[in-house]
Amino acid sequence: MMSKYKRIGVMADLNSIVALNAYKEIMKKYDFIDAMSVSPQECDLVITIGGDGMMLKALHRYMDHSTPIYGMNRGSVGFLMNDYVFEDLLDHIDKAVETRLYPLEMRAETLEGEIHAALAVNEVSLLRETNQAAKIRIFVNDEVRLDCLVADGVLIATPAGSSAYNFAAYGPIIPLDANILALTPICPFRPRRWRGALLSHKSRVRLEVLEADKRPVSAVADSTEVRNVRSVEITERKDKVLKILFDKQNMFEERVMKEQFSSE
C-alpha cells in the first residue's frame, strides 16, 4: 500500500530493547528512512517509537520544518503516543488526525546580564538551586499578579506538557485544543492556598526572582537549563507549528477525559 507521505523516517529510543526491536521490525517490513541518518528536511513524516520522551525529542528536532510526527508507544506512559501497530501501519498513518501545537519561548536573564533563549514543547520551569526556597514575583501581561511566591519553583506548561511535570505538581491536564497555559507552583509555601492559574495562550508571563543572589534559581525549557537567573519571560511562538498525528480511536482528548475521571 502506498501512503500520501513519500519519505517516511523512523526514530526510536535506542536505550530501550523493546523500542529497538520494534524499530528493527518496522524497518525490515517497510521502505522507510532512518530519520537520524538524514537531515530533518528529507522526511515528509516521522514515526517515533518509544515513550513521550522520544516524542519530545522528535518535536524539537523537526520544529523548524513542521514535519508531522506519528508516535507509537514502546515506552512507559506514552500519553502523546498511539498504540504500537505493525500490520497496516501506512493505513493508520493516512487516517490519523492531525493536532497542531505551539511551543513556548523562554528568554532568561542571568545575574551577569546574559540573555539565553530556548524553546519548550512541554514546559518552562523555575527551580531553586539550593536548600532555600525560591522567592518569585509573577507578572502576567505586564501586571503583577502575585507579589511573592515562596516555593520550590513554578512552571508554565503547554497543553502537551500539562500531563507531564505539571500534572506531577498537581496542575491540571489541559486538552490540546484549549488555547490555555497552566501556571503551576511547585511545592508552594506562601501563599498557602494558591494552587496556580489557567492563562490564555496569548499571555506574556514574566517571572522575577527575588533575592536572586541569596536564593539562586535555575530556569529550564524542557531539557535546556540556565542557572542563576534574575528573570524569565515566556511567550507562545505561533510561528513554530508542531504537528502530532493521533489515531481516531485513540485521540488525546479522550485520554485527557479518562485521566480526569480516573479513580486510581
> What are the pLDDT digits (tens) for 108-133?
999 999 999 999 999 999 999 999 99
Among residues 227, 258, 42, 21, the alpha carbon closest in space to that of 129 is found at: 227
Q: Is 83 annotated as a binding residue?
A: no
How far is CA 1 from its chain centroid?
A: 33
Among residues 197, 127, 206, 116, the alpha carbon closest in space to that of 157 is found at: 197
Cβ atoms of 97 and 245 closer than 8 Å: yes
DSSP-assigned beta bridge partners for residue 20: none
In this predicted structure, the answer to whether residue 17 has a pLDDT above a threshold of 70 is yes
Q: Is 160 annotated as a binding residue?
A: yes
**Residues with Cβ < 8 Å from 264, sequence gap 6 or more?**
none
Task: Note the pLDDT of residue 249.
Answer: 72
Beta strands 33-34 and 217-221: pairing type? Answer: unpaired
User: Which residue's entry shows cell 497552566?
Assistant: 182
**Going from the N-terminus, what domains does the chain have, and what CATH number goes with each?**
8-102+241-260 (3.40.50.10330), 104-236 (2.60.200.30)
Q: Is 58 annotated as a binding residue?
A: no
Helices (H), the chain: 17-29, 52-61, 89-95, 165-168, 252-260
Average pLDDT over residues 221-229: 97
Is 91 a residue of the active site? no
**End-to-end Cα, the chain, rounded Å:** 41
Task: Note the pLDDT of residue 176.
Answer: 83
Q: Is 91 annotated as a binding residue?
A: no
Q: Of 44, 52, 91, 94, which is the active-site residue?
A: 52
Confidence of residue 163 (pLDDT cuts 50, 70, 90): confident
Instruction: Report the share of the chain in percent with pLDDT over 90.
Output: 83
Q: What is the mean pLDDT of the chain?
A: 93
